[in-house]
Amino acid sequence: MHTDAVFRSRRSNVLAVHGMVATSQPLAAQAGLDILTAAGTAADAAVATAAMLNVVEPTSTGIGGDCFALYWDARTKQVTALNGSGRAAGAASIEEVRRLGYQRMPMFTGHAVSIPGAVAGWSDLLARHGRMTLADVLRPAIRTAEEGYPVSELIARGWATQVQKLLRSTDWQSGDLGNGPEQPSGHELLLDRHAPRMGEVMRIPTLAATLRGIAAEGRDYIYQGDFARKLSAHVQRYGGWITPEDMAAHVSTWDEPITCNYRGVTLYECPPNGQGLAAILALNLAAGFELADRDEPDRLHILIECMRLAFADAQQWVCDPRVVPIPLAELCSTEYADRRRRLIDLRRAADDVSFGLPHAGSDTVYLSVVDGEGNACSFIGSLYMGTGTGLVVPGTGVSLQNRAALFLLDPAHPNALAPNKRPYQTIIPAMTTKGGELHASFGVMGGFMQPQGHVQMLVNMLDLQMSPQQALDVPRWQVADPDDGVGAQEIGGRIMMEEGWSFATLAELSRRWHRVVPVDGFGRGAFGGGQIILRDPQTGVLTGGSDPRKDGCAVGW
């Protein structure tokens, strides 16, 4: 393992041949494995796992959020991309938000709620790639929500950070909560108005009832009828615009993935409105450097600079391409990468990083599934910032996402808030092929860490020849959140470095004008949680790794 970093996990790779599931909570991984053993496909197991995560990790994902998936069909040898993200309401208005005094999109009011796309995504994934019904795959999640489960360690810690938001407390870190009823419904996701502690048994009967409704009626339970009316009324109570008509109009889309070639493998990412473009751009840049034989500070400096350039482009261009055209072919071309690569100085961090002109020239869950036939599903779902807005639709156990908070209030920007438009999305699954066969299904959750995680996992596995578990174990780095107003335009930017890198490496990065911010303890959660399943096309052997920064595991049979 070519690294000087000292952090190590004692976890071994998991090996199997008939199927494997890797995700951030063991009960969810087991739910998916049960579907595989019952002859389900990777799609069936992915939806079962995702639904279970709604129950056992509801502070990260849920029916009120979105999802994306990449699916490898072993029969056709094709990768398809599912966009299960929602759009802004038909009445969404920059003028109204500005009239209320906001200089940027509010994060926790009804204005931040976009149409939740998760359940439509589940349904569409099963329709194209599954063998089972929603009723079949939701059964484990329904049972667990009704009977209860002991809350796992890191999830309990994250849950505690959401209590004040769920209760709309004036002590919440943001005053951006909006007006609403005196008795908010966030208590449905709490135990006597507190977060469940590790080992406490949590039951969510209202969520179980919602899941039962979906099992009985399919996606229409969410997008038609009583649930849609309740959701719309609750969002409007907190200032938002969603109507039952907006809910009924929602559809997922199947897209052509965007790709790049890196060290002999093809990386697949969902196209915008997701930020997978940032990973493609960064790896196109990194492909022009020999990384394996460089010392650690050199390698990290190059990758950080590649990532900063990639984010500059992504922050400019990622939007809803059905509303604003994006020059994807030019952005993803090797010619564009060659031109941008000239901006990288091997001796120091760039003073200023701006986006290029190609024509001229926060909490999430991720899961990976591979079935015994070699089909694979790389799947990600999220409410964005923990429980999203923290607005729980009364009597349903469903917390609503705050994805619309990622819109901009500049009408001239491609990602400007507009009616029926999808916002910039941080959640991105990844998949690689090699020689026309599946190579790996993987992802790293965690806001703007995600494309950076994809880059680091591939460099670890391909340049540094690490196994999946090794690739996940080693310390990570992160370019500061590109929208936080701190890092991207300042000299060297702000680079968060996880505990475990050597002092010599940190010192050398500082000498090259990177603003190094060491992170240790539970702060390491900022570096996301990843899952990787690698498949040997000759033997069918699956090698799985699961992130030690989360509660989960890889399981196989």
363, pLDDT greater than 80: no
The Cα–Cα gap between 214 and 233 comes to 20
Rounded to whole angstroms, how far apart are CA atoms 526 and 550? 11
CA distance 152 to 551: 7
Q: Rounded distance, CA 205 to CA 212, Å?
A: 10
Give the pLDDT score at 361: 28
Q: What is the pLDDT of residues 287-323, one digit of tens each?
A: 999 999 999 999 999 999 999 999 999 999 999 999 9
Does the pLDDT at position 534 exceed 90?
yes
Q: How many CB atoms lie within 10 A of CB 311?
A: 29
For residue 135, the enclosing domain spans: 1-103+112-557
Token digits of residue 487: 């890092």
Answer whether residue 144 shows pLDDT above 70. Answer: yes
For residue 236, give the 3-state DSSP assignment.
helix
How does DSSP assign 142-157, residue by residue?
A: HHHHHH-EEPPHHHHH
Query: What residues are labeled active site?
Result: 364
d(CA 502, CA 504): 5
Of the pLDDT bands very low, low, confident and very high (cuts 50, 70, 90), residue 7 is very low
Q: For position 355, what pLDDT does the model report?
A: 64
Strand 78-84 to 363-371 pairing: unpaired
Asked if residues 79 and 437 have their Cβ atoms less than 8 Å apart, the reply is no
Distance CA 228, CA 244 (A): 5
What gap in Å lies between CA 514 and CA 506, rounded to an integer? 9
Query: Residue 65 above 80 pLDDT?
Result: yes
**Residue 7 or residue 59, greater confidence:** 59
Q: What is the mean pLDDT of the chain?
A: 92
Q: Name the 3-class secondary structure at 48.
A: helix
* Predicted pLDDT at 477: 96
- Which residue is it, tokens 């790293």? 444
pLDDT tens-digit readout, 163-175: 999 998 865 555 5
SS3 annotation, 522-557: HHHHHHCCEEEEEECCCCCCEEEEECCCCCCEEEEC
Task: Check residue 179 and give its pLDDT.
Answer: 58
Please check whether residue 429 is in contact with residue 379, taking contact to mean a CB–CB distance below 8 angstroms: yes
Candidates 119, 108, 393, 66; CA nearest to 233 is: 393
Number of domains in the chain: 1
CA-based radius of gyration for the chain: 22
Mean pLDDT over residues 328-352, rounded?
Answer: 93
Position 3 confidence tier, pLDDT thresholds 50, 70, 90: very low
Query: Is 488 a residue whose pLDDT tops 90?
Result: no
Per-residue pLDDT tens for 212-234?
A: 999 999 999 999 999 999 999 99
The two tokens of residue 363 are: 């909490």
Q: What does pTM read for this prediction?
A: 0.94
Q: 364 phi and psi, to 5 degrees?
A: -155, 165
Q: What is the pLDDT of residue 484?
A: 46
